[in-house]
Structure 1
Amino acid sequence: MSTVSLYHPTVARLTYRGLLGRRRAVVLFALPALLLVLSAAVRAFTGADDDTAVNVLGGFALATMVPLVGVVAGTGAIGPEIDDGSVVYLLAKPVPRTTVVLTKLVVAIGVSVAFTALPTLLAGFLLNGNSQQIAVAYAAAAAAASVAYSALFLLLGVVTRHAVVAGLVYALVWESLFGNLIPGARTLSVQQWALSLAQHLAADGVITSDVRLPVAVTLLAVVTVAATAYAVRRMKSLTLAGEE
């Protein structure tokens, strides 16, 4: 019995090229650059301060930059190919559709983590030198959130032609607005789940989350697996011309 590969180098190379060789690359580079410039400016004007570091890393890096990068990487990994119809050429190749989705997810996760976790770590060191493990905590949270966001937004790229708009609405309205203002909505927020991990890694009392760590880790895993599984299912349902 044949096994399904989890990664296809050619599909990965084409996906990387699509993400980093188009206008999406501008957003991918601009957001981390803005975070680093902001962090350097804040450090220059206010000095090293733990509360300021938490506000910048939590308010901009985790709440804004991470979901926006996730939208760009997740939807951009597959959405454009479906929109312009070029996905039919990919699906016509002897590559299992499960492998296509998993490979694109790996690429989306890799790009998201590279453009969120690393800049967040550097920004944390700029802000307060990783005092009380704040930089490491937020970098780990950014990485964890990036995995879930990549799966969610990859799914959006498969199920709708308006994936970017839907992703932005989710990231900016649900995560950033409702997730911060409405207590009940916070428990259903990827940001809050990732924040729970940051709370666990940082010194006591520095970072707070409304979700306990075991629940947060479970929900992050469930959302990632469920979104990936449904994306695979939807890809398998796509038919090519001549197929029955």
Structure 2
Amino acid sequence: MYHRTVARLTYRALLGRRRALLLFCLPLLLLVIVSAVRALAGQDDGTTADLLQGFALSAMVPLIGVIAGTGAIGPEIDDGAIVYLLAKPIKRSTIVSTKLLVAIGVSVVFSALPTLLAGLVLDGNGQHLAVAFAVAAAAASIAYSAIFLMLGVLTRHAVVVGLVYALVWEGVIGNVVPGARTLSVQQWSLAIAQRISLDSSVTSDVSLTTGVVFLVLVTAVAGWFAAHKLRTLKLAGEE
């Protein structure tokens, strides 16, 4: 389920000059913000939880997921380069699983690690919140990578759809509308952060069991559906 050549090509596509710049900008912005907050307000658990949830988990993580998930396969489909890859004797499910693993790796590195560093800068509670939100960011990155990779297979406008989902659903509706919160990747991952931190300032609208089950289910279904749709792509000359 992992092909080294496909992985190498995907890494090159994701870490090219333009996408790498976008991937570095968001974590850098987070670290600049938390450094300024630390200098001005000092260490505070409530501020740490609000900032890591309000910016890192609800904005930075899904946006990086959009960049990594759609960028892993979308551009190849858009410019037609995918036909050269599909013509090789490689299972299409292997192509999808490899690209998904690469997207997950990139998302986790650029999401979870900066979240951990930001939490360590701000956290006044023995780094519990830093670790809790870093684990939550990693869990959310896995689900987002699968969702946005699936969108990359389904539509040529995956980036636009992904941005609308990330900014409107996860960033606004998922934080405001009570019923929508149970269908939010942010809330599912926040349940993990709540359990690890054991801090009253971290709350989720779903239980830990519900959050973990939905994260696993969405990741599996999105990955399967992306592989299924890729199998339906026909090359010229195929029967």
CA distance in 2, matches of 1:32, 1:24: 13
- After superposition, the Cα gap between the structure-2 partners of 1:225 and 1:134, relative to the gap in structure 1 and judged at 3 Å, is same
1:157 to 152, 155, 161: 152
Q: Residue 215 of structure 2 corresponds to which residue in structure 1?
A: 220
CA distance in 2, matches of 1:132, 1:143: 17
Asked if 1:23 is matched to 2:18, the reply is yes
Say whether the 8 Å CA contact 1:124–1:130 is kept in structure 2.
no
- After superposition, the Cα gap between the structure-2 partners of 1:130 and 1:92, relative to the gap in structure 1 and judged at 3 Å, is farther
Alignment of 1:146-225 (within 5 A): 146-225=141-220
Say whether the 8 Å CA contact 1:43–1:126 is kept in structure 2.
yes
Unaligned runs of 5+ in 2: none
Say whether the 8 Å CA contact 2:48–2:122 is kept in structure 1.
yes
Alignment of 1:98-177 (within 5 A): 98-128=93-123, 131=126, 133-177=128-172
Identity %: 66
2:50 to 55, 58, 74: 55
Which has the larger displacement, 123-132 or 96-105? 123-132
CA distance in 2, matches of 1:127, 1:204: 15
Report the CA distance between 1:129 and its aligned residue.
5.1
Report the CA distance between 1:26 and its aligned residue.
1.1
Aligned residue type for 1:56? L
Say whether the 8 Å CA contact 2:191–2:208 is kept in structure 1.
yes
Give CA deviations for 1:96-145 in whole Å, capped at 9, x if unaligned: 10100000000000000000000000000011255360000000000000
Aligned residue type for 2:130? A
Q: TM-score, normalised by structure 2?
A: 0.98
Alignment of 1:16-95 (within 5 A): 16-95=11-90
- After superposition, the Cα gap between the structure-2 partners of 1:123 and 1:209, relative to the gap in structure 1 and judged at 3 Å, is same
CA distance in 1, matches of 2:24, 2:82: 26
Report the CA distance between 1:167 and its aligned residue.
0.2
Unaligned runs of 5+ in 1: 1-5
How many residue pairs get aligned? The number is 239
SS at match of 2:88: coil
Say whether the 8 Å CA contact 1:132–1:203 is kept in structure 2.
no
The CA RMSD measured in Å over matched residues stands at 0.9
Which has the larger displacement, 66-75 or 17-26? 17-26
